Every structure is written in C-alpha cells, then in structure tokens.
Structure 1
C-alpha cells in the first residue's frame, strides 16, 4: 500500500512541476489545442486551470464502486422480475 501511495505522490509531484512549467509557457504562447497540454494534465478548466490525474483517479474509483452497487441491485431486481414472470406463466 505504501508503494502505491508513494507512486501517486510522485505522479502528483511530476504533474505539479509540469503544470508550473506549462503555466510559464502559456504566458508566452497560449496553447492552440488540447494536444499541447503538459504530461500528467488531463484537461484544463477556468477556475483552477488543471485537473490532476489524482482527482481523475478518485472520480473513476467512486464511479466504479457505484457501478458495482447499481449492478448488483439491478441483478436482484431482474431476478425477482423474471421469477414472478415465470410463476405467472406456470400458473396459466
């Protein structure tokens, strides 16, 4: 677990240094497309300028967990619906 945390710290540190160098470059030459974004930066936004990989990873993890939860609930609902449908067909 410590290795993962240190890797995320290193990526975050690299992204911050890349972002600061990109800010300096942006002041002289504004980027014309998203392909000129620095390494480790996924997108720009006006309020804070950068969306970090760490933020994106946290959002992906939360969506993944929510998807698993919804999937299992949906699976239960579908099973219940099918069993009720089969019971009705059997009774007829």
Structure 2
C-alpha cells in the first residue's frame, strides 16, 4: 500500500512541476494566493499528513459481511411480503 502511495505522490509532484512551468504563459504572473491559505518558507502550500486508510483485507471482509447480511435480509423480507400478500388476498377473497 505504501508503494502505491509513494508512486502516486511522485506522479502528482511530476504533474505539479509540469503544470507550473509548461502550461502557464510566461508573461502573466501567478495568481495571488487565497487569504486563508498558509504557506511554508518555500512558498508551497503546507499540506496535512495523510490520514489512516482502510486495508484491502478489512475492506474485503466488510464487503463480504454486507453481502451476506443483504442476502439474509432479502430472503426474510421476501418471506414477510409473501405472508402479508397471502393474508391480504384471503381477506379480499372473504369479502
């Protein structure tokens, strides 16, 4: 997981470097920073450390549990709806 994150960070840094030099016209000055942004000594916007992420194993377990719970709820609901419809049909038939 860390190798994917490091590759993503490297890619995003490359894109930032390309975007800052290749796609901006040389004659216009860079736009002024928003007033609420905080800048470090190098002029780069200070970023927060990455948050904790969920591992692939935990995500897989959660998906499996939700899938099984959905099947159980679906069959239970199907059974309840059939009972409700049969009782409703009996009442309508008696009338």
TM-score, with length taken from structure 1? 0.50
| 1:17 equivalent in structure 2 | 3
The alignment yields a C-alpha RMSD, in angstroms, of 2.9
Of structures 1 and 2, the one with the larger relative CO (CA 8 A, separation 6+) is 1
> What stretches of structure 2 of length at least 5 have no aligned partner?
14-49
**Larger strand proportion, structure 1 or 2?**
1
1:58 Cα offset (Å): 1.1
Q: 2:78 aligns with which of 66, 70, 75?
A: 75
2:42 corresponds to 1:56:
no
1:47 Cα offset (Å): 7.0
Number of equivalences: 62
1:88 Cα offset (Å): 0.3
Distance 1:76 1:53 in 2: 35
> What stretches of structure 1 of length at least 5 have no aligned partner?
1-14, 30-45
1:53 Cα offset (Å): 1.9
**Larger helix proportion, structure 1 or 2?**
1
Give the greater-gyration-radius structure (CA): 2
1:56 Cα offset (Å): 1.1
